[in-house]
């Protein structure tokens, strides 16, 4: 991570301790934001990320919060604002994936994915909006499966990520009078600890013969957080190496 610049405002990343979320936290901190982020497990990873950013001259704060818990989401926003002030950028990354054919998906798995991937995203945006500055940025992390999955067993996950793509359109209209943009990033397979066992197989299916890196998603988050992206809202940007072509 490059050395942090002069702080330009506060950012909050839901689901920021590992993978794509951690890359977003690192990039926003490098861009000069004071970054609060939530995590639901692995406090060691969360604190290591805080230490890394602090040592580089940035500001970061980790908050334990389950994105399936509405009160925890509201508390996380309150803690972030108390620590760093009104929010300039909000990134909603928290999500889970559980596979299974539609005729055998347990009700518990359906409810959990809807609770975190859809309800949790909605609640995170709703709780953040009163604390987002006019002209601020809200960025969700969806998935390219909203366009095409190409494999059986992903019906519920595809449902949830398609819902996120729809949510940003309505939210963008709601928040346009305040100059707040709402956009959705739809990554394809990304190299994280959760996909380590499948990386080689996924790379073979890619037109580019590789999977993405978390830092590439972090770079897109950085762009959407900038003033230069201010004419884009309600959009879903697919970054998947051509998987959905």
Q: Which residues are catalytic?
A: 157
Dihedral angle computed from the Cα positions of residues 93, 122, 35 and 179, in that order, rounded to the nearest 10 degrees: 120
**Three-state DSSP class for 3?**
coil
**Three-state DSSP class for 217?**
helix
The Cα 16–Cα 38 span in angstroms is 6
**Radius of gyration (Cα) for the chain, nearest Å?**
17
The Cα 145–Cα 242 span in angstroms is 12
Please give the structure tokens belonging to residue 22. Answer: 């951690």
Among candidate residues 50, 51, 19, the one with its CA nearest the CA of residue 36: 50
The Cα 206–Cα 188 span in angstroms is 10
Q: How far is CA 134 from CA 87, 94, 119, 179, 180, in A?
A: 10, 24, 24, 6, 6
C-alpha of 66 from chain center:
14
The residue count for the chain: 245
As beta bridge partners, residue 182 has 138
């Amino acid at each position: 991570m490059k050395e942090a610049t002069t702080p330009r405002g506060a950012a909050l990343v839901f689901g920021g301790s590992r993978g794509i979320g951690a890359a977003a936290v690192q990039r926003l901190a490098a861009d000069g934001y004071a970054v609060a982020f939530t995590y639901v497990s692995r406090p060691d990873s969360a604190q290591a990320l805080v230490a890394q950013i602090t040592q580089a001259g940035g500001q970061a704060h980790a908050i334990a919060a389950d994105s399936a818990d509405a009160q925890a989401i509201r508390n996380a926003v309150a803690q972030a604002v108390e620590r760093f002030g009104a929010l300039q950028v909000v990134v909603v990354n928290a999500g889970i994936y559980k596979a299974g054919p539609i005729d055998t998906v347990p009700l518990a798995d359906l409810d959990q994915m809807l609770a975190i991937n859809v309800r949790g995203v909605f609640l995170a945006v709703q709780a953040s909006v009163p604390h987002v500055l006019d002209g601020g940025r809200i960025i969700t992390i969806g998935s390219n499966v909203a366009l095409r999955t190409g494999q059986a067993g992903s019906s519920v996950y595809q449902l949830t990520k398609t819902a996120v793509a729809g949510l940003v359109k309505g939210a963008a209209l709601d928040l346009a009078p305040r100059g707040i943009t709402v956009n959705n990033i739809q990554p394809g397979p990304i190299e994280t600890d959760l996909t380590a066992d499948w990386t080689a197989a996924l790379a073979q299916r890619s037109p580019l013969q590789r999977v993405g890196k978390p830092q590439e998603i972090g770079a897109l988050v950085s762009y959407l957080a900038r003033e230069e992206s201010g004419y884009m809202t309600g959009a879903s940007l697919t970054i998947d190496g051509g998987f959905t072509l």
